[in-house]
Amino acid sequence: MGEIGSYSSATGLAVDGGPERPSRTASGVPARRRGWKCVLPGLLLVHCALLVWSAVRDSPTWDEPARLAAGIAHWKLRRFGLYRPNPPLVRMVAALPVLPWRPKMDWRVYGEGPGSRAEFPLGKQFVRDNRERFVLYHVLARLATIPFALVGMLVCLRWASELYGRSAGVVAVTLWCFSPSILGYGHLISPDTAAASLGLAAAYGFWRWLRQPSTFRALFAGALLGLAWLSKLTWLVLLALWPAIWAVAACSRSGRKVSRQVLAETLQLGLVILAGLWLLNACYFFDGTFTRLGEYEFVSNALGRHAGSSGHCSGVGNRFAGTWLGCLPMPLPKDYVMGADVQKHDFERKMSSYLCGQWKAGGWWYYYIYALLIKVPLGTWALVSLAAWLVLVTKRYVVSWFDELVLVAPALAVLILVSSQTGFNHHIRYVLPMLGFVFVWTSKVGRAMELGRHKLAMLVAGATVWSVASSLWIYPHSLSYFNEWVGGPRNGHAHLLHSNTDWGQDMLHLKRWLDKHPGAQPIGVAWYVPVMDPKYFGIEWTAPPRGLPARGMTMPDPESVGPLPGWFAISVNRIRAIDGMYRYFLRFEPVAMAGYSMYIYHITLEEANRVRRELGLPELAERGAGRGESQEQG
């Protein structure tokens, strides 16, 4: 491949104003190469160590038992009806180190009918049946998925270096390694970081094919495309995006051999897609491949029956049955298609969403933009802003327009696609696949060092250090990261909930805190994860007293209504929950925190009576101290 920034074979255009290569001196190059060889392996080891430590320290999160149980089912049953909305690659990799332990599995709760979500009861049963080892199983499964994050790091390095130079590669790798979102989700049994890595890798392979088309590069790009499709349904957008990008390239060419070249590349582009489809179907063992579109049973309005007056589709149906489209064989695994249908159905249900203290049915089109603004370090945003400014004022930080398009288009496509689904807004992880592209594009600011712009280079270094320090300041609680603009993770739940703050990751941290403070037991616990009893972690607990009932509900014994004196550990998702059951805890100051998602309170009789007076509840007598509900949380 020719030198980047001088000629693009995809466009056939000379690139004027591309980044200039720094002059090489006999004294400077060896020292720079030695530094390069030391820094990058060091970052790789640090990134791996951070992920491993988090994988060991955090408790299993809300959906990990379901994902792990589904992965085991894929191998043992060779069926893919569990967790359809996400392709099986990450789950299958996660299950591999667990299979030799022969975990107990109760397949009686297995189900795979249209719209079925049997993975959650199966995950709950999996935890119950393996309560002595389920934490170990989750740690082993997490460790198996960490290489996905390392792939993303290496692609950031390679692509940024080829586009903008080695200093840019260091910037891109640093942003990836210490990104709170990558650290937060990269150590979980979750497809999000894998999708970020494999989507970036696929785009890099496609970019290399565009610059120098060949059959081998087409097959390589196709294999990476298949892996991206196997990580998350989001990357189906590439099926439309890549041909569009290639068409733009083809239309920009001039010369006598254009027609012959376009024909050859058209065939190779078809090979890219066919290779991706083959790998996708192979991972599903070709189960249900080429099922006719009219033979599916869909549950979403988009693919099922026409919506009724309520706007919802009742039961199952197929709007393509009896039409010529229904006769078309789908070149996709059956469960892959049904997974897309279930995902669409979820977005059509208008689930309750939370943003900045407000709950509503459905979501906001700007939810993910706002989430990125407060969940990405301000140092990173400073670098993004600087990169945008440099693009506007000088050509020395810009490669060809086409290279920039290949890099920027997937990120924008993901953001637009996800933001358009306003049925519910719960998780910033849905836009995680765009981060790698942003990091590579932003890394152009690293060229300041190679171009001898020392003041600008110091600014870049300062912003990078700020970003890294901000992330490490709250590590290993990266899932709960919020930047300084909103007051950090301590104030994050006032802005976002769900996996953005509390995904159930801090129960082991609570257990460690209780081991150091035995006087805090017995303790009332309100946790966010219904599939795991805190007793499985060795915590003896009771359910905290509930607050005042909603209007129209029967008023219980006033002395059983909270607040009551005692020790309590309350998940921030439960404190801010739409039912308001534990919202009265906002009137108290926590004495400690387990991570940033479990707030620990020690309420005295005097403090309880103060808040009870504010709520219009009768005060408690001395004998009421310590009273609380003994039944387990439902």
The helix/strand/coil state of 376 is coil
pLDDT band at 35 (very low <50, low <70, confident <90, very high): low
What percentage of residues in the chain have a pLDDT greater than 70? 89
Does 51 map to a domain? no
Does 320 map to a domain? no
Distance CA 116, CA 82 (A): 8
pLDDT at 551: 56
Among the ranges given (161-165, 313-317, 465-469, 473-477), the one the predictor scored with the smallest mean pLDDT = 313-317
Among the ranges given (6-15, 94-103, 444-453, 603-612), the one the predictor scored with the smallest mean pLDDT = 6-15
pLDDT at 504: 95
Does 525 map to a domain? yes
Distance CA 607, CA 628 (A): 15
Please determine, for residue 298, whether its predicted confidence score (pLDDT) is greater than 50.
Answer: yes
pLDDT at 30: 58
Does 548 map to a domain? yes
Query: For the residues 114-119, what does the mean pLDDT come to?
Result: 91
Query: For the residues 178-204, what does the mean pLDDT come to?
Result: 98
Which residues on adjacent β-strands are paired with residue 355?
358
Does 515 map to a domain? yes
Distance CA 46, CA 177 (A): 8
pLDDT at 8: 43
Q: Where are any strands of DSSP class E within 351-445?
A: 352-355, 358-361
Query: For the residues 397-424, what does the mean pLDDT come to?
Result: 93
The model's pLDDT over 383-401, given as tens digits with 9 standing for 90+, comes to 999 999 999 998 888 888 8
Please determine, for residue 29, whether its predicted confidence score (pLDDT) is greater than 70.
Answer: no
Please determine, for residue 17, whether its predicted confidence score (pLDDT) is greater than 70.
Answer: no
pLDDT at 626: 43
Please determine, for residue 630, whether its predicted confidence score (pLDDT) is greater than 50.
Answer: no
Does 9 map to a domain? no
The model's pLDDT over 148-185, given as tens digits with 9 standing for 90+, comes to 999 999 999 999 999 999 999 999 999 999 999 999 99
pLDDT at 7: 33
Sign of CA pseudo-dihedral 497, 500, 501, 502: positive
pLDDT at 210: 95
More confident residue, 452 or 117: 117
pLDDT at 98: 99
pLDDT at 634: 31
Please determine, for residue 9, whether its predicted confidence score (pLDDT) is greater than 70.
Answer: no
Q: Which residues contact 603 (CB under 8 A, 6 or more apart)?
A: 563, 564, 565, 566, 567, 568, 588
Whole-number average pLDDT of the chain: 90
pLDDT band at 25 (very low <50, low <70, confident <90, very high): very low
DSSP line for 526-569 = E-S-TTS-GGGGT--EEPPPP-PPPTTSPP--GGGSSP-SEEEE
pLDDT at 24: 42
Helix (H) or strand (E) holding 523: strand 523-526
Query: For the residues 605-632, what does the mean pLDDT come to?
Result: 74
Does 588 map to a domain? yes
Are residues 545 and 560 in contact, defined by beta-carbon separation less than 8 angstroms? Answer: yes
Q: What's the total number of domains in the chain?
A: 1
The model's pLDDT over 273-297, given as tens digits with 9 standing for 90+, comes to 999 999 999 999 999 999 999 999 9
Among the ranges given (148-152, 425-429, 530-534), the one the predictor scored with the smallest mean pLDDT = 530-534
3-state secondary structure 582-633: CHHHHHCCCCEEECCCEEEEEECHHHHHHHHHHHCCCCCCHHHCCCCCCCCC
Please determine, for residue 507, whether its predicted confidence score (pLDDT) is greater than 70.
Answer: yes
The helix/strand/coil state of 360 is strand
The token duo for 212 is 């120098």
Does 516 map to a domain? yes
**Domain carrying residue 565:** 507-624
Distance CA 329, CA 322 (A): 14
**pTM for the whole structure:** 0.91
Nearest partner of 207 among 442, 440, 439, 446, judged by Cα: 440
Helix (H) or strand (E) holding 90: helix 89-95
Please determine, for residue 593, whether its predicted confidence score (pLDDT) is greater than 90.
Answer: yes
pLDDT at 450: 84
pLDDT at 106: 94
pLDDT band at 485 (very low <50, low <70, confident <90, very high): very high
Please determine, for residue 213, whether its predicted confidence score (pLDDT) is greater than 50.
Answer: yes
Q: Which residues contact 56 (CB under 8 A, 6 or more apart)?
A: 139
**Residue 32 backbone zone (phi > 0: left; psi -120 to 50: alpha; other: beta):** alpha
The model's pLDDT over 570-592, given as tens digits with 9 standing for 90+, comes to 999 999 999 999 999 999 999 99
